[in-house]
Amino acid sequence: MNLVNFRFETGADGVALLIWDMPERSMNVITFEVMSELEQVIDKVAGDFEIKGCVITSGKPAFSGGADLSMLQKSAADYAKAVRERGEEEAMKEFFEGARRLSLLYRKLETCGKPFAVAIAGTCLGGAFELALACHYRVLADSDKTRVGLPEIKVGLFPGAGGTQRVARLMQTGDALQMLFKGEQLKPAKAKAAGLVHELAPADEIVARAKDWIVNGGKAQAPWDVEGFKPPSGRVYSPGGMMVWPAANAIYRRETFDNYPAAKAILHSVFEGLQLPFDLGLRVEARWFAHILRSRQAAAMIRTLFLSKSELEKGAHRPKDIPQAKFKKIGVLGAGFMGAGVAYVSALAGLEVVLIDRDQESADKGKAVIDKLVSGQVSRGRATAADRQALLARIAATPDYETLKGVDLVVEAVFEERGVKAEATKKAQAVVGAEVIFASNTSTLPITSLAETSLKPENFVGIHFFSPVEKMLLVEVIRGEKTSDRAVATALDFVRILKKTPIVVNDSRGFYANRCVLNYVREGHIMLSEGVPPAMIETAARMAGMPVGPLSLNDEIALDLAWKIHQATKKDLGEAAVDPTQERVLQFMVEQEGRLGRKNGKGFYDYPAVGKKSLWPRLSALAETTLDPDAIDVEELQRRFLVVQAAEAARTLFEGVVTDPREADVGSILGFGFAPFTGGTLSYIDGVGAKAFVAICDALTRKYGERFTPPLQLREMAEKGESFYGRYAAEAKAA
């Protein structure tokens, strides 16, 4: 055998050990080469009389992250080329056979006549877990670092190498569907309880346990290949089955609004596959998988949420030739909700943190917030009491700025007001000096103007975290007019330590994410004034693909913060810079009614101490006219929500705020939840087509106003038949 990605050895007991250890990669992934080598191994094990069976394990800390999705992206490109060269029918046959290659390989392993066991430590996800499911015996390391799962739905795909068929035959149907829909990663105990693995063992014993199973007569037969096998939930068409499937379809509709073809394909694959013999079920799954691989949604989500996201996390826009920044201790100014969040994730990453506020009581409140966050992790079994104690010991909460001496970075997260930020900057820099990089966590105020109060604007940079910091993956790194490459590189290195995804943006009021999402919130305010029922506004937004409605989102942000931003914008830029309709809505809610959002229990929604939130009944007072709900075009409401954000994203690109479509798309999904199935704001425009998008903008402009006017450069793109990814990829090559 000619193996590059595996090591193969056979012991005196006749059990072969296959160690997956890809050279020059930190993580094992499934590639065409890996598949070819695995097939060689299967043939060797099956054909060698002296080999009793084979144990598969990893030579790396993690087992595998699954398939290399760039391989799947290439398959879709090859299909398009084959259509042009050989016609659609022949291309589809080739594509289908290619799409089921991994599924057939795993089935070959499963039916080769020799027992295969797998010993898993670390993460084992996607196609790698499908490999494990095809093995006859599965041993997991009983460790907090071990996770198994099928997360393909998160990038617009679904398990297409037998995952839907095997999981649905090992678990109760409802549980299997929930696992596949959520793409959740299971801890060892939960995977064992679900029947997905056979045994848990200490990490240093998993290979020996797997070998023992083979030596002691482990059988090379999957449960579904045993005569008389019945799935755990019984037949699809049975009283039990009818308790599952109508509800599953309703949940699918409620959660996806039919926006995610992969989720629908999961339903089809499991529903149809459970009614067929196993091999026919695999064929059904493969047909759906081939269909999904060619979908626009999968292509967009793979590009944005896997390829582009990975490239940005690896430093696609990190200034070159700048030495890697080293961090041991950082300072955080402001122990409020945001500052406490920054301090928490920094301490979680192993850094020492000095958390500063105006007095000891305020600083202690910030540390109490952190204590609550880490204690929540302990109660959920994600951390130990010792972890909590160690994390809190790394955080010094104090009003004493002198304790900032020796920090490697200062992050300012005080109140969003120029004077407060200027005072904190001066006090901190009086201690740390001008050479320590100083970062402001501002959500809207331009970095260039804030840097004017610093000792050295070249070392002043924006690091905009999103709330809640511990949950949100995106961070905007903002370059002011005088910000140096060193400051940007330092900020990116810090964000990477925190395991967040950064985008680099140039200075602008609201930067990138807030410019887009505040347009979304404003559109909800305007719809209220138009007389659109509040429930319809919220539902239409979710139907469009947004995670929450604009009114609910505004409550989370806080209405008084939106009002302050509105007033600060008017003060800095004049009356014309704000929308009078939105001003009327916010003034009514904040100034007249004292409704500040979730934080005081009353915003667009009421938040009772016990029970679910509900829309405030008096919102109808904001309507300037009364509309017949049955006459409202719900699809147009959906378009308005997406178009107003996408048009603003295009403006930011043409203005040079963002410089790369990848950052605009990744930032829009991770930062404010822009309809993930579209691939992001600019992918949405590319998917619609520039010409069609401009036509939609023009129609909405005529009906609703100038906020929908498309940028001039987008009109030029429409006339030339260009796309964002085509145009900017070409510009990058030319550069």
d(CA 526, CA 640): 11
Under DSSP, the state recorded for 234 is -
- At position 683, the amino acid (one-letter code) is S
CA–CA dist 541, 598 (Å, integer): 19
Confidence at residue 692, expressed as pLDDT on a 0 to 100 scale: 98
Cβ distance 95 to 290 under 8 Å? Answer: yes
* Euclidean distance between CA atoms 356 and 46, whole angstroms: 65
Question: How far is it, in rounded angstroms, from Cα 553 to Cα 522?
Answer: 11
Domains along the sequence of the chain with CATH = 6-294 (3.90.226.10), 329-508 (3.40.50.720), 514-656+660-730 (1.10.1040.50)
- Confirm if 158 and 289 have CB atoms less than 8 A apart: yes
- Please state, in angstroms and rounded to a whole number, the distance separating the CA atoms of residues 62 and 332: 34
Provide Rg for the chain, Cα atoms: 28
Own/partner contacts of 600-603, CB < 8 Å, gap of 24 or more, are 603/551, 603/554, 603/555, 603/559
Does residue 598 register a pLDDT over 70? yes
Q: How many Cβ atoms are within 10 Å of 629's Cβ, its own excluded?
A: 11
Crossing angle of helices 163-170 and 173-182, rounded to 10°: 140
> To which residue do tokens 């022949």 refer?
90
Distance CA 206, CA 135 (A): 15
Structure tokens at 592: 């007249």
Residue 734 has a pLDDT of 45
Mean pLDDT over 551-560 rounds to 93
Q: Give the confidence band of 679 by pLDDT, cuts at 50, 70, 90.
A: very high
| Predicted confidence band of residue 730 (pLDDT cuts 50, 70, 90) | low
Across all residues in the chain, what is the average pLDDT?
A: 94
Q: Which amino acid is at 337?
A: F
Which pLDDT score, from 0 to 100, does residue 377 have?
94
Locate tokens 């068929």: which residue? Answer: 165
Q: Tell me, what's the pLDDT at 546?
A: 97
Give every CB contact of residue 106 below 8 A, 6+ residues apart in sequence.
130, 131, 133, 134, 161, 162
Strands (E), 15-107: 15-20, 53-58
Separation of alpha carbons 679 and 74, rounded Å:
17
Least confidently predicted of 73-82, 430-439, 570-579: 73-82
19-28, 166-175, 635-644, 725-734 — which is least confidently predicted?
725-734
Concatenating the DSSP letter of every residue in 444-456 gives SS-HHHHHTTSS-
- Closest-CA residue to 476 (of 515, 437, 449): 515
What confidence category does residue 1 fall into, taking pLDDT thresholds of 50, 70 and 90?
confident
pLDDT digits (tens, 9 = 90+) for 153-183: 999 999 999 999 999 999 999 999 999 999 9
d(CA 169, CA 146): 23
Residue 557 confidence (pLDDT): 85
Write phi, then psi, for 90 (nearest 5 degrees).
-65, -40
Whole-model pTM over 0.85: yes
| Average pLDDT of the residues in 685-693 | 97
Q: Which tokens is 499 given?
A: 């395991």
What is the rounded distance in angstroms from the CA atom of residue 48 to the CA atom of residue 236? 41
Cβ pair 649, 516 in contact under 8 A: yes
Judged against a pLDDT cut of 60, whether residue 732 lies above it is answered with no
Q: What's the whole-number mean pLDDT along residues 565-578? A: 87
**Distance between CA atoms of residues 376 and 368, nearest Å:** 12
Cβ neighbourhood burial of 626 (10 Å; 0-12, 13-18, 19+): exposed
- pLDDT at residue 731 in the model: 58
- Dist CA 9 CA 558 (whole Å): 62
Is there a cis peptide before residue 580, judged by omega within 30 degrees of 0?
A: no
- Report which of 627, 659, 638 is spatially closest to residue 520, judged by C-alpha positions: 638
Quick check: 733 pLDDT over 70?
Answer: no
pLDDT tens digits for range 56-66 = 999 999 999 99
CA dist 362 and 364 (Å) reads 5
Residues 528, 557 contacting (CB under 8 angstroms):
no
704-727 mean pLDDT = 95
Q: Where are the alpha helices (H) located in 558-601, listed in sequence order?
A: 559-573, 580-586
| φ, ψ dihedrals at 501, nearest 5° | -100, 120
Bridge-based pairing of strands 474-479 and 460-465 is antiparallel
CA dihedral 174, 130, 224, 248 (to 10 degrees): 20
pLDDT of amino acid 77: 77
Q: Facing residues of 132 across strands?
A: none
| Lowest-confidence segment of 99-103, 170-174, 557-561, 700-704 by average pLDDT | 557-561
Indicate if the pLDDT at residue 111 is higher than 50.
Answer: yes
How does DSSP classify residue 588?
I
Give, as one character, the DSSP assignment of residue 732. Answer: H
Between CA 476 and CA 500 the distance in angstroms is 10
Residue 622: per-residue pLDDT: 95
Mean of pLDDT values over 463-470: 93
Closest CA to 377 of 346, 350, 344: 344
The pLDDT of residue 689 is above 60: yes
Q: Quick one: which of 443, 447, 467, 469 has its CA closest to 457?
A: 447
Measure CA 41 to chain center. Answer: 36
* pLDDT-above-90 percentage for the chain: 87
User: Strand 395-398 vs strand 409-412: parallel, antiparallel, or unpaired?
Assistant: unpaired
pLDDT of residue 212: 97
Burial class from Cβ neighbours inside 10 Å (0-12, 13-18, 19+) for residue 140 reads buried
Confidence of residue 735 (pLDDT cuts 50, 70, 90): very low
For 196-206, the pLDDT digits (tens) are 999 999 999 99
Residue type (1 letter), 298: A
Contacts 24+ apart (CB under 8 A), 368-377: 369/335, 369/337, 369/340, 369/341, 369/344, 370/340, 370/343, 370/344, 370/395, 373/340, 373/341, 373/344, 373/470, 374/344, 374/348
Closest CA to 62 of 122, 6, 120: 122
Per-residue pLDDT reduced to its tens digit, 24-60: 899 999 999 999 999 999 999 999 999 999 999 999 9
Of 724, 733, 616, 620, nearest to 678 by C-alpha is 724
- Using an 8 Å Cβ cutoff, are 64 and 125 in contact? yes
Tell whether the model's pLDDT for residue 430 goes beyond 70.
yes
Using an 8 Å Cβ cutoff, are 493 and 329 in contact? no
User: Do 38 and 103 contact (CB within 8 A), yes or no?
Assistant: no
As a whole number of angstroms, the distance between CA 84 and CA 393 comes to: 63
Q: Check residue 83 and give its pLDDT.
A: 85
For the chain, give the number of residues.
Answer: 735
Average pLDDT over residues 635-647: 98
In DSSP notation, 106-128 reads: HHHHHTSSS-EEEEE-SEEETHH
Per the structure block, which two tokens stand in for 369?
């917030």
CA 523 → CA 266, 554, 637, distances in Å?
34, 11, 9
Distance of CA 707 to the CA centre of its chain: 29
Is the model's pLDDT at 89 over the cut of 90? no
